[in-house]
């Protein structure tokens, strides 16, 4: 039996009693007690049975690539299937697969753009900054649209790790789209055959998207106005993400794309939530890397032996995505370590790069908050100074 979860709300308002953890919710303002709230383990929010519906798509994409002796394309297709699978837990309409379809298309487009733009450091940083800005604005449109934009921003950043021409960009985009499409079709078939195992679900504290074209237009006009918190957050996130993209290029950091990607994922409107999520991500990364390293060292799996480990880690991520961000990060880190091992990357090196990236992203996020605070105080002081004083 699946646990009941609170109904989504409209207008960006959410249930303050529900912890916003995982990758499924747009960032909100910091609230009292949020540190304890975010760190809590919400085991009632685990969904192991629906998670099973998303594993076959990941496995099929991976095994097909391995059968063709193409580990590189297998990684891309598997990444597309894995990320799109989270869309099965989102809702934008009565069509259950709509978030998955939107995500697959957005991820493919972002991959093509990121591959080509990454040939130039500043073009790449500009694209990442624009993606961060759009993602910030997207928080005003509800949870599912924001989640789709988040996947696009992530794949834009990741695709920039290996520059390529337009042909390579379209090839990679095709693999992402193929993996996401396979995942969408398989989940749709399984839900049709066994609908009771995957009832309609929504993320904790989810906010609904606009219903009509008029509501979409009204929301768009609101979020692009300067007083809107989404506008200010979009500027902050865009500048921080773009700067992170430049920093990782200047430092020539191995797997450096994790730095701007982590900024995009971690940076929230509230400093407390950002710091807490960073700490949880660090703890989850350390534990997940440790588990994955021990498992690989003990089993010494071949490429085919890694496949079940990747599938198990993916199932754990789907199951625990709403339980706690740190717990979720354990599964995601294990999945990343297992997946990148297909290309012969050392597990400890991958884990170390991810840890350093999280630390560097945390520093950039803290600097962004500090700069934003100084800027707000300067503006407030300027307005006060320009106010005419009453004659004595």
Between residues 17 and 306, the one the model is more confident about: 306
What does the pLDDT read at residue 193?
95
pLDDT surpassing 70 at residue 307: yes
Q: State the CB neighbour count (10 A cutoff) for residue 193.
A: 9
pLDDT of residue 98: 92
Of 4-18, 46-60, 70-84, 294-308, give the lowest mean pLDDT range.
Answer: 4-18
Whether 207 and 12 have beta carbons less than 8 Å apart is answered as yes
DSSP state letters, 273-330: HHHHHHHHHHHHHHHHHHHHHHHHHHH---HHHHHHHHHHHHHHHHHHTTT-HHHHHH
State residue 38's pLDDT score: 58
Give me the DSSP letters along 369-381: HHHHHHHHHHHHH
d(CA 16, CA 100): 28
Residue 27: its pLDDT value, please? 63
Average pLDDT score over residue span 21-28 = 53
Domain boundary assignment for the chain: 41-204+228-382
pLDDT of residue 20: 33
Residue 207's φ and ψ, nearest 5 degrees, are -115, 140
Side-chain half-sphere of 380: how many Cα atoms within 13 Å? 6
Q: Is the Cα torsion angle 116, 337, 282, 229 positive or negative in sign?
A: positive
pLDDT at 392 over 60: no
Using 50, 70 and 90 to split pLDDT, how confident is the model at 6?
Answer: very low
Percent of the chain with pLDDT over 70: 85
Tell me whether residue 7 is exposed, middle or buried, using C-beta atoms within 10 angstroms of its C-beta: 0 to 12, 13 to 18, 19 or more: exposed
Instruction: Please write the tens of the pLDDT for every residue from 130-151.
Output: 999 999 999 999 888 999 999 9
Rounded Cα gap, residues 236 and 264, in angstroms:
11
Q: What is the pLDDT of residues 309-340, one digit of tens each?
A: 999 999 999 999 999 989 999 999 999 989 98
DSSP label at 27? -
If pLDDT is split at 50, 70 and 90, which confidence band does 28 have?
A: low
Asked whether 136 and 70 are in contact (CB, 8 A), the reply is no
**If you average pLDDT over every residue of the chain, what do you get?**
84
Contact 146, 138 (CB under 8 A): yes
Is the per-residue pLDDT at 95 higher than 70? yes
For residues 93 and 212, the answer to whether their CB atoms sit within 8 Å is: no
């Amino acid at each position: 039996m699946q646990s009941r979860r609170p109904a989504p709300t409209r207008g960006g308002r959410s249930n303050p009693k529900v912890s916003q953890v995982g990758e499924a919710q747009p960032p909100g303002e910091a609230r009292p007690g949020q540190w304890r709230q975010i760190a809590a383990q919400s085991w009632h929010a685990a969904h192991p049975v629906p998670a099973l519906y998303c594993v076959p798509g990941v496995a099929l994409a991976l095994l097909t690539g391995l059968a063709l002796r193409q580990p590189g394309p297998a990684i891309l297709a598997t990444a597309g299937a894995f990320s799109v699978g989270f869309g099965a837990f989102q809702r934008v309409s009565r069509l259950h697969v709509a978030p998955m379809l939107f995500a697959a298309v957005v991820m493919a487009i972002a991959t093509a753009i990121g591959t080509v733009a990454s040939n130039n450091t500043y073009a790449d940083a500009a694209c990442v900054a624009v993606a961060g800005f759009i993602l910030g604005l997207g928080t005003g449109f509800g949870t599912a649209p924001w989640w789709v934009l988040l996947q696009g921003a992530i794949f834009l950043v990741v695709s920039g790790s290996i520059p390529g021409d337009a042909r390579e960009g379209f090839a990679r985009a095709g693999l992402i789209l193929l993996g996401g499409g396979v995942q969408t079709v398989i989940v749709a078939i399984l839900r049709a055959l066994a609908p009771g195992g995957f009832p309609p679900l929504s993320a904790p504290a989810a906010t609904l998207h606009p219903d009509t074209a008029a509501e979409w237009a009204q929301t768009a006009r609101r979020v692009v106005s300067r007083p809107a918190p989404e506008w200010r957050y979009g500027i902050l996130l865009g500048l921080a993400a773009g700067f992170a993209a430049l920093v990782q290029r200047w430092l020539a950091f191995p797997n450096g794309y994790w730095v701007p990607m982590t900024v995009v994922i971690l940076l929230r409107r509230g400093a407390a939530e950002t710091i807490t999520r960073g700490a949880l991500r660090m703890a989850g990364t350390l534990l997940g890397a440790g588990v994955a390293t021990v498992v690989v060292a003990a089993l010494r799996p071949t490429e085919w032996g890694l496949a079940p480990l990747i599938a198990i880690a993916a199932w754990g991520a789907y199951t625990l995505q709403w339980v706690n961000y740190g717990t979720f990060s354990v599964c995601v880190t294990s999945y990343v370590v297992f997946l990148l091992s297909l290309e012969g990357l050392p597990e400890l090196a991958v884990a170390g790069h991810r840890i350093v990236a999280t630390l560097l992203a945390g520093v950039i996020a803290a600097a962004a908050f500090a700069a934003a605070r100084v800027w707000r105080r300067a503006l407030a002081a300027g307005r006060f100074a320009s106010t005419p004083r009453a004659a004595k």
